[in-house]
Amino acid sequence: MTLIPETLRDNVRLLGELLGGTLLEHHGTDIYRKVEEIRKQGKVVNQSDTGDATELIKTLSSLEDKDILPIARAFNQFLNLANIAEQQYFSSAESSNKDILEDSIVELTRNIGKDQVAAALKELDIELVLTAHPTEVTRRTLIRKYERVSKVLRESSRTDLFQYEKDQLTDQLKRTIDEVWHTDEVRDERPSAVDEAKWGFAVIENSLWSAVPDFLRELDAIARRTTGQGIGIDHCPFHFYSWMGGDRDGNPNVTHEVTREVLILGRWMAADLYLRDISDLTARLSMEITTPSFAENWGEHAKTPYRQCMHRIKQNLQNTRLWAEETLAGQVSTTKPPISTKEELLAPLMACYESLCEVGLKRVADGELLDTIRRVHCFGISLVPLDIRQDSERHLLAIDEVTQYVGLGSYAQWDENKKQAFLYEQLESKRPLIPRKWQPSADTLEVLDTCFEVAKQPRETLSHYIISMARHPSDVLAVALLLRECGVEWNVPIVPLFETLDDLDRAPKVMTELWESKWYREYIDQQQTVMIGYSDSAKDAGKITATWAQYKAQETLVKLAKKNEVTLMLFHGRGGTIGRGGGPVEKAMASQPPGSVPGRIRVTEQGEMIRYKFGLPRVAIRSLAVYVAATLRATLDPHDAPKPEWRTLIEQMSDQSLHRYRQIVREDERFVPYFRSLTPEQELGKLALGSRPAKRKASGGIESLRAIPWVFAWMQVRLNLPAWLGAPQALDFALKEQPDVLADMVENWPFFSSYLDLLEMVIGKADGSIAAYYEQQLVDPAYHSLGEVLRTDLKRSEVLLNEIKDQDMILASDPLLRQSINVRNPYTDPLNYLQAELLKRERNSGQISQDLEQALKVTMAGISAGMRNTG
């Protein structure tokens, strides 16, 4: 039975045919026929009961070296184009018969009450943090071309097109696919941290700049229809922040100079975008009718006072842009001071708005002028205020260097009580700790220079200071001291990030000690953000154990914050993949502990997920709608706390899973060599994914490997191990020991049912037979027994899931996803078999030709596209 909608299937077929035409035209019939043969064999493999890939492997093995690159590129580009068609379809009105946002608000007003929903909408605070995690494989050049393809597909769906318009759109598609085909799909050079920040700005410029005011209009209209109250012109329920250019954790390429450059670029970009708005408003606001106060204060008694006001704003924005250009060029700026607060923009804009309303031109005021006002509220003076992130050890070593220099001994060697006593003493002292004439080490100097940079920048351009691997109260206090010593005059929100299993367990104790401190309570003004790390905790302990530890930590922190009268915002450091805390927003919100989303939440959006969720205006509007609906539900109608028997069973399941996970990953001496030889972990560096190294430290093994390449490597070989290792032991235990309790959890606990759904999605994308082929080609036979154990566990996970969900096949409850995977597999599988062959050649000979190395990189990008995520 075909479940993929007609329009989507037609678009996939159309793009495939156009790509085939390009291939035929530029590479001839021989390559075209080989691609078709491989595609058909891939389809046969996926449709057969046995999944025998012998004929497909035989065909791939017989390919001449000169043919491998164009064939790999053909399959890669088909997968990219299929993703575009799917993304475009699901962002269209046709893909959904219901409005998730309006339906949610209607239901909440019915169950909770109109006034409560209206109040919650006005208080909603969703913070979305764009991070530069190196998971975006696709080049920005190609992203722009893919956006053009999506735009043409959307235009083509119109029913009022003349034939010549249809022909024009087809020609545009052909041209764009030609451009795509003749553009390298992988970068030659690793992007710099500044390049990554520019990519973040481009997402705002090309998508969010128009999506945000459009969405706020929709939200305001829905709120008025359902609650009788609008959201107000001065409230934006979400704001965007960034780690791009601020995240220096384990990344020596992000320096204080880079942070300064990114902050100035953000102010330049903001000024440039606002200038476009002001130019448009200058043309529109030609009215002469105004209020006397506006004419006097802003209009300078000109014939067209609103235009005169716009000219004043324009001059300030041009000064800001020129200041940024001169500063970036290393010149001493001679222009007037740049705009440094959003109030400088809002005051004249709001004066225009109020005057227009007062003279009876509210419709005019509520047009493009309101859009610009809302943009200022959302994006401020720098588009995305920057978070600074650094590892706790860097702060510890910096203070240790100071204490040793001034003769106080080694701070690093002191116990926690002594550290805290020292830090509080220094924080309450009026004397500086750091000597003025002192030459610290390069690492310590960089920590201090970063803090000096924070002191120099306008407060509105910065957001939080995140401490990675936070373990003790002293880790937080150390940052407060360093910032003060460097001249920061405002209380920067300092956010501990609890990442490993032990850190999550320790988090409540750490925060209790801090919240019981009078000095600290005054510093935070009873407002605290705590970050929960999903990636590293899952890598440390396995998915189910980490997920339960995160739940418990959040639950306890919420209770402790309430007890200490602290307003808590939880910051969720989720990745794109299930193994790193990713998954649908609705499921993630619904599975949070009750009371942990009190109208406010902070979430990272990482790598390629930024493009999938916010890369196109219509997609961005849909994503924002999902976030608002899910946050409202979690705030106003949270699920009940888990029953005692659920807690007991999930704790036992967690123990079973943790034992198995660490038994394999930490204790089995075969594991590291198996991982290194089976996966392309060591070859991933060829992709030049991002500015950050794959490891936190140059030395070290699996434990120092970042969660992103860890997940990426397993995903490439289709084993997807980080998301399910330990799961069959946990599920088997529950089925045998407490089947009734387990059934109750599946039916009535969103936290657990969401975990099962995400686990099922990962297993649905895995393929043990492909992983076995990698093993056969690349792994020493001495380690094959471990592979058999892992693939048996993978299969066991599938069997247990089907039993628990009472279904005949995996993803039976999500047939559209199942079919989407089945459509992609005939194109993804050949890339896997090719990749294994190319890895074998490179490792055996030490090197391969430039074309074959390029083909290897293309297979990595293509498999990522086929799986719909990287790390």
Q: 27, 34, 133, 765: which is the annotated catalytic residue?
A: 133
Say which residues have a Cβ less than 8 Å from residue 430's Cβ, sequence separation at least 6: none
Average pLDDT over residues 244-259: 94
For residue range 323-361, list pLDDT tens digits in order.
Answer: 999 999 998 877 889 999 999 999 999 999 999 999 999
Q: 539, 552, 572, 765: which is the annotated catalytic residue?
A: 539
For residue range 162-199, list pLDDT tens digits in order.
Answer: 999 989 999 999 999 999 999 888 777 778 889 889 98
Cβ–Cβ < 8 Å for 266, 203: no
Average pLDDT over residues 286-312: 91
CA distances from 568 to 225, 306, 529 (A): 32, 43, 6
Percent of the chain with pLDDT over 90: 73
What is the four-CA torsion angle of 317, 321, 323, 329, rounded to 10 degrees?
180
Ramachandran angles phi, psi of 494, nearest 5°: -105, 125
pLDDT of residue 37 exceeding 90: yes
Tokens at residue 778, please? 């690349």
Residue 686 confidence class, pLDDT cut points 50, 70, 90 = confident
Q: Which residue has the higher pLDDT, 715 or 47?
A: 715
Any idea what the Cα angle at residue 58 is, between residues 56 and 60, rounded to 5°? 70
CA distances from 758 to 740, 755, 771 (A): 22, 5, 21
Q: Can you tell me the distance from the alpha carbon of 322 to that of 477, in angstroms, rounded to the nearest whole number?
A: 39
Average pLDDT over residues 115-124: 96
For residue range 401-427, list pLDDT tens digits in order.
Answer: 999 999 999 999 999 999 999 999 999
User: Is 437 a known active-site residue?
Assistant: no
Angle, helix 750-765 to helix 739-748, in steps of 10 degrees = 90
Taking the CB of residue 182, how many other CB atoms lie within 10 A of it? Answer: 9
Residue 765 confidence class, pLDDT cut points 50, 70, 90 = very high
Q: Which residue has the higher pLDDT, 608 or 476?
A: 476
* Average pLDDT in the chain: 90
Nearest to 378 by CA among 490, 277, 282, 465: 277
Query: Per-residue DSSP letters for 309-364?
Result: HHHHHHHHHHHHHHHHHHHHTT----SPPPP-STHHHHHHHHHHHHHHHHTT-HHH
Cβ–Cβ < 8 Å for 137, 611: no
pLDDT of residue 811 exceeding 60: yes
For residue range 54-100, list pLDDT tens digits in order.
Answer: 999 999 999 999 999 999 999 999 998 888 888 777 766 444 445 78
User: Is 395 a known active-site residue?
Assistant: no
Tokens at residue 709, please? 């390449």
Residue in the structure block whose two tokens are 């594991």: 671
Question: Helices (H) and strands (E) in the chain — how many of each?
Answer: 37, 8
Q: Can you tell me the distance from the alpha carbon of 373 to that of 366, in angstroms, rounded to the nearest whole number?
A: 10
Q: Where are the beta strands (DSSP E) in 649-797?
A: none
Question: Residue 703 has what pLDDT?
Answer: 63
Nearest to 758 by CA among 587, 575, 629: 587
Q: Can you tell me the distance from the alpha carbon of 622 to that of 101, in angstroms, rounded to the nearest whole number?
A: 9
Question: Residue 571 has what pLDDT?
Answer: 96
Nearest to 181 by CA among 25, 14, 8: 25
Say which residues have a Cβ less than 8 Å from residue 446's Cβ, sequence separation at least 6: 255, 256
pLDDT of residue 694 exceeding 60: no
